[in-house]
Chains A and B, each alone.
Chain A
Amino acid sequence: MRSDKELKLSKKDIWLASWRWIFFALSTQNYEYMMGTGFAHSLSGSLEKLYEHDQVGLSKALKRHVTFFNTEPQLGSIIPGIVLSLEEEYANNQDNQEPSAILQTKNVLMGPIASLGDSFLVGMVNPILLSIAIGLSANGSLLGLIVFLILWIVLVIFIRHFLFIKGYLLGLDAIKILKNEKIKNKIVQVVTVFGLIVIGGATVVTSEVITSTQFLFDKNGMTMQKIMEQPMFGFISIFILLTYYFFLSKKKWSFVRLVCASLLAVAIILLFQIL
Chain B
Amino acid sequence: MSLWQASLIGIFAYLGRNQVPWFFGTTGGWYGIGRPLVAGGICGFILGDIYLGIFCGILIQALYIGQITPGSAMHSDVNLASFVGISIAISSHTHPEVAVMLAIPLGLLGVYLNQLTMSAQVCFSKKAMTYAETGDARKIRWINICGTSISFLERFSVVLLLCYFGSPVITKVLEIVPEVVVYFLVISGRVIPLIGFSMLLNQIINEGWMMVLFLFGWLMCFIFKLSMLHLILVAFFISIIYLLAYTKGCSETILVQQDTLQRNNIEEEGDYEE
Give the B-binding residues of A (Cβ under 8 A).
20, 22-34, 36-38, 40-41, 44-45, 47-48, 51, 55-56, 58-59, 62-63, 65-66, 70, 72-74, 114-115, 118-119, 122-124, 126-127, 130-138, 140-142, 144-145, 148-149, 152-153, 156-157, 160, 182, 186, 189-207, 209-210, 213, 215, 217-219, 222, 224-225, 228, 234, 237-238, 240-242, 244-245, 248-249, 254-256, 258-259, 262-263, 265-267, 270, 274
- Partner pick for A200 among B28, B66, B134, B215, CB 8 A cutoff: B215
Q: How far is the CB of B68 from chain A (nearest CB, A)?
A: 5
Are the CB atoms of B197 and A270 closer together than 8 Å? no
Q: How far is the CB of A58 from chain B (nearest CB, A)?
A: 4
Q: Is B118 an interface residue (CB 8 A)?
A: yes
Interchain residue pairs with CB less than 8 A apart (15):
A23-B22, A28-B128, A48-B137, A66-B125, A134-B61, A135-B229, A137-B57, A152-B32, A157-B27, A192-B205, A198-B235, A201-B218, A205-B58, A225-B187, A248-B202
Secondary structure dominating the interface of B: helix
Are the CB atoms of B147 and A240 closer together than 8 Å? no
Q: A24-B141, A201-B218 are in contact. List 8 more A-B contacts (CB 8 A).
A: A26-B21, A34-B71, A44-B141, A200-B215, A205-B58, A241-B198, A262-B188, A270-B184
Q: How far is the CA of A252 from the CA of B227 in the complex (A)?
A: 34
Q: Which 3 residue pairs of A and B lie closest in terms of their CB atoms, listed nearest first? A: A200-B217, A135-B228, A28-B147
Q: How many chain-B residues does the 8 Å CB contact rule pick out?
A: 113
Which of B166-174, B240-248, B260-268 lies at the interface? B240-248
Q: How far is the CA of A33 from the CA of B123 in the complex (A)?
A: 11
Are the CB atoms of A218 and B238 closer together than 8 Å? no
Are the CB atoms of A40 and B183 closer together than 8 Å? no
Are the CB atoms of B220 and A201 closer together than 8 Å? yes
Are the CB atoms of A28 and B143 closer together than 8 Å? yes
Are the CB atoms of B226 and A59 closer together than 8 Å? no
Q: How far is the CA of A66 from the CA of B28 in the complex (A)?
A: 25
Residue from B22, B118, B125, B145 having most chain A Cβ neighbours under 10 A: B125
Are the CB atoms of B191 and A199 closer together than 8 Å? no
Give the A-binding residues of B (Cβ under 8 A).
18-22, 24-28, 31-33, 35, 37-38, 40-41, 45, 50-51, 54-55, 57-59, 61-62, 65-66, 68-72, 75-76, 95-97, 104, 118-122, 124-125, 128-129, 131-135, 137-138, 140-141, 143-145, 147-148, 179-180, 183-184, 186-188, 190-195, 197-205, 210, 213-222, 226-229, 231-232, 234-236, 238-239, 242-243, 246-247, 250
With A27-B145, A118-B70 as known contacts, state yes or no: A40 contacts B132, CB within 8 Å: yes
With A140-B54, A142-B41, A149-B33 as known contacts, state yes or no: A228 contacts B137, CB within 8 Å: no
Q: Hey, which chain B residues are within 8 Å of A27, CB to CB?
A: 19-21, 144-145, 147-148
Q: Which residue of B lies closest to A249 (CB)?
A: B202
Q: How far is the CA of A101 from the CA of B86 in the complex (A)?
A: 50
Q: How far is the CA of A217 from the CA of B183 in the complex (A)?
A: 8
- Partner pick for A263 among B69, B180, B188, CB 8 A cutoff: B188
Are the CB atoms of B216 and A200 closer together than 8 Å? yes
With A137-B58, A210-B190 as known contacts, state yes or no: A22 contacts B50, CB within 8 Å: no
With A27-B144, A201-B218, A262-B195 as known contacts, state yes or no: A140 contacts B18, CB within 8 Å: no
Q: Which residue of A lies closest to B146 (CB)?
A: A28
Are the CB atoms of A127 and B65 closer together than 8 Å? yes
Are the CB atoms of A245 and B246 closer together than 8 Å? no
Are the CB atoms of B25 and A140 closer together than 8 Å? no
Are the CB atoms of A31 and B122 closer together than 8 Å? yes
Residue from A23, A186, A200, A259 having most chain B Cβ neighbours under 10 A: A200
- Partner pick for B231 among A118, A201, A258, CB 8 A cutoff: A201
